[in-house]
Amino acid sequence: MLWREYFQWYAHRHGKHLFAFKGIKQQKPFTSFYPERFRKWCSGNTPYPLVNACMKQLNVTGFMSNRGRQIVASCLVNELAVDWRYGAAYFEQQLLDYDVASNWGNWQYLAGVGADPRSKRHFDFEKQTRQYDPEGLFMNKWQGGIQILPLDSVDVSDWPVGA
């Protein structure tokens, strides 16, 4: 509850900057928008079983633990290099306990453009799995699996010259 209240005041203080790409730090994150990567993340089809399980749980139940939210946000921003605002908007659409200030404030925090003295949060998925799902029960329940397919079906080298 304390974090929820914190983010309410955070949103009140920062207003429209809560939704800005550069966040409150006015620091551009090294991300873009990759539609295919984003779709795969949304549906739980990434190379990361724990992320997949969390996203499938969200899609079925409308809920995800706070730790799960941090893990999947780290994946979208750091591993897939997708603009954090797409993840925030997806959570807005999916979460039953959605709260504008908590959602957008936490996404800024994970993307490294919000209030955080350590800058960017980058989760080690293997460590998170060992710590929170060592027997794989959660991943098995939500069919996290390992996706062998590449994140992008078109490689940059396949693009026409001059494009």
Domain count, the chain: 1
Which one is predicted more confidently, 19 or 60? 60
Q: Is 68 a residue whose pLDDT tops 90? A: yes
- Cα torsion through 60, 124, 110, 45, rounded to 10: -30
pLDDT bracket for residue 30 (50, 70, 90): low
Which of the pair, 29 or 14, is modelled with greater confidence? 14
Looking at residue 142, its pLDDT comes to 94
Distance of CA 104 to the CA centre of its chain: 11
What whole-number distance in Å separates Cα of residue 31 and Cα of residue 20? 13
Cβ(152)–Cβ(36) below 8 Å: yes
pLDDT of residue 2: 61
- CB count within 10 Å of CB 39 equals 10
Residues whose CB is less than 8 angstroms from the CB of residue 156 and which lie 6 or more positions away in sequence, other chains included: none
Question: Is 149 contained in some domain?
Answer: no
C-alpha span between 79 and 38 (Å, rounded): 11
Residue 161 binned pLDDT confidence (cut-offs 50, 70, 90): very low
In a domain, 119, yes or no: yes
| Enclosing domain of residue 117 | 23-143
pLDDT at 122 over 60: yes
Report if residue 1 sits inside a domain: no
In a domain, 57, yes or no: yes
CA–CA gap between residue 50 and residue 53 (Å, rounded)? 5
63: CATH? 1.10.579.10
Domain membership of residue 65 (yes or no) is yes
What one-letter code names the amino acid at 87? Answer: G
What does the pLDDT look like over 130-151, one tens digit per residue? 999 999 999 999 988 766 556 6
Q: Is residue 79 part of a domain?
A: yes
Residue 123 tokens, joined: 């989760």
Q: What is the pTM of this model?
A: 0.75
